[in-house]
A and B are shown apart, each in its own frame.
Chain A
Amino acid sequence: MPVKLNNNAASRLASSLTAGATSLSVTPGEGSKFPTPTGGDWFPVTLLKSSGQFEITRCTARAGDVLTVTRGQEGTAAIPFDAGDRVELRITAAAFAEYIQGSAFFKTLADDADAATARATLGAQASDATLTALAGLVTAANQMIYSTGEDTFAMTSLTAFARTLLDDADAAAARVTLGVVDAAQCTAWVNFNGTGVVYIRHSYNVSSVTDINTGRYNVNFSSAMVNTNYVTSGSCGDGDTTTSSGRFVKIGLPETDGAGICIISDAGSFADTSHISLEFFGGK
């Protein structure tokens, strides 16, 4: 409901006015000096006696020289007036407050006394050097912010892979993410039968065993070692614990992708045997 204003809108009462009257007439022909409020618009009208007494009213309609008013506004009392008393459109406190355009929320901000109060109204915090410094950064995909000093920041890469590590709950989870194997754990092992049609009973991190010749094999790792400093241990036998004859495992030079081994008999020759177990530690 906006306030309607006209400049220099002033006239006089054409006739006396009782305290309870809600319409007044101004000097004939001078009604057009005043706005014509419609649809809830209004303008303030001050009635002023020669004695200095006055009353503020609110005009909500005008038809020619007749103004429809609501009496006794803004703390003033409705009093009678005489013909010839002044009728003027004067800016009042209520009119000025109404004239501030904007939402109800905006008006709660407009009347704040200072910045601190305005921030409280807005729910905002005071300017902060840290936030200002952060606001100066130009962010990009896969970048993270880090501090280089008090209230100074810079950007550095944060790859998708790094994020999979950051969300790990503990060291064990991090090792899994990194593919790092605990030094105490076996990095590969295999149990196979070296007789007949050679077959593998079970294995870990072994993609295949190559049957090269009698008693000679190569163990191929699924995931290559990162170095050749790993430990190889093994045992072999034919399942017979009633005789003292036996065989032993001889290891060849280790490679990152596999290890050669052979089975040697008591007689010092290559030999096939039914139970060959090999374990590898380290190399990761």
Chain B
Amino acid sequence: MDSRIVYQLPDQPTAVLIPCECGLTLEQIGQKDVPDGVPFWIVPADSIPTGRTFRDAWELDVSSMGEPSGFGGAA
């Protein structure tokens, strides 16, 4: 899949969820695999930084992300 699902928990760097071809839609995967109640966004894979040297510093600019694609645990 050429998309990624991103979310961020408090005091943690941005988590990037790499979806598999498992018969579920991206939204369904996000709802299933993102922690309950946490907003997530579906973004193009090429929007993810390739350099991981400062992986611990990845932050989501929620203000520029627009409405979330969904929330974890919300079927």
Q: Are B45 and A222 in contact (CB under 8 A)?
A: no
Minimum distance in angstroms from B7 CB to a CB of chain A: 9
Shortest distance from the beta carbon of A7 to any chain B beta carbon, whole Å? 89
In the assembled complex, A23 has its CB within 8 A of some CB on chain B: no
Whether A206 touches B15, Cβ cut-off 8 Å, given contacts A197-B50, A258-B33, is no
Which of B12, B29, B52 is A207 in contact with, Cβ under 8 Å?
B29
Main secondary structure of the interface of A (DSSP, over half): strand
Q: Are A200 and B20 in contact (CB under 8 A)?
A: yes
Q: Across the interface, do B18 and A198 meet the contact criterion of CB distance under 8 Å?
A: yes
Q: Is A73 an interface residue (CB 8 A)?
A: no
Of A192, A199, A213, A272, which contacts B13 at CB under 8 A? A213
Q: Does chain B have a CB within 8 A of A115?
A: no
Cβ of A203 and Cβ of B55 under 8 Å apart? no
Chain B interface residue count, CB cutoff 8 Å, equals 24
What A residues does B61 contact at CB under 8 A?
Answer: none
0 or 1 for each of B8-28: is its CB under 8 Å from A? (1 = yes):
000011011111101110000
Q: Is the CB of A208 within 8 A of B19?
A: yes
CB of A143 closer than 8 Å to a CB of B: no
Q: What residue in chain B is nearest A272 (Cβ atoms)?
A: B52
**Interface assignment of A211: CB less than 8 Å from any CB of chain B:** yes
By a CB distance below 8 angstroms, the chain A residues around B4 are 197
Contact between chains at A196 and B52 (CB < 8 Å): yes
CA distance A205 to B21 in the complex (A): 10
Roughly how many angstroms separate A195 CA and B17 CA in the complex, as a whole number?
A: 14
**Given the interface contacts A196-B50, A220-B33, does A211 sit within 8 Å of B16 by beta carbon?**
yes
Contact flag A197-B48 (CB < 8 Å), given A206-B22, A208-B17: yes
**In the complex, chain B residues whose CB is within 8 Å of the CB of A207:** 19-20, 22, 24, 29, 32-33
Within the assembled complex, what's the spacing in Å between the Cα atoms of A272 and B51?
11
CB distance A200 to B22 under 8 Å?
A: no
Verify B32–A213 contact, CB threshold 8 A: no
- Which of A198, A205, A210, A211 lies at the interface centre, i.e. has the most chain B CB atoms within 10 A of its CB? A211
Q: Is the CB of A199 within 8 A of B45?
A: yes
Q: Residue A209 at the B interface, CB < 8 A?
A: yes
- A214 near B18 with CB under 8 A, answer no
A113 at interface, CB cutoff 8 A:
no
* CB–CB B20/A222 < 8 A: yes
Q: Which residues of A contact B15 (CB under 8 A)?
A: 210-212
Which residues from chain A contact B16 at a C-beta distance below 8 Å? 198, 210-211
In the complex, what's the smallest C-beta–C-beta distance from B56 to chain A, in angstroms? 6
Shortest CB distance A121–B (Å):
63
Beta-carbon contact of B33 and A195 below 8 Å: no
Q: Can you add 20 more A-B contacts, CB < 8 Å, to A206-B22, A210-B17, A220-B29?
A: A190-B20, A197-B4, A197-B46, A197-B49, A198-B18, A199-B45, A207-B19, A207-B22, A207-B24, A209-B18, A209-B20, A211-B15, A211-B16, A211-B18, A213-B12, A213-B13, A213-B55, A220-B17, A257-B32, A272-B55
Ranked 7 nearest A-B pairs via Cβ? A220-B33, A211-B16, A222-B22, A214-B55, A207-B22, A196-B50, A208-B19
Interface residues of A (CB under 8 A from B): 190, 192, 195-200, 203, 205-214, 220, 222, 257-258, 272
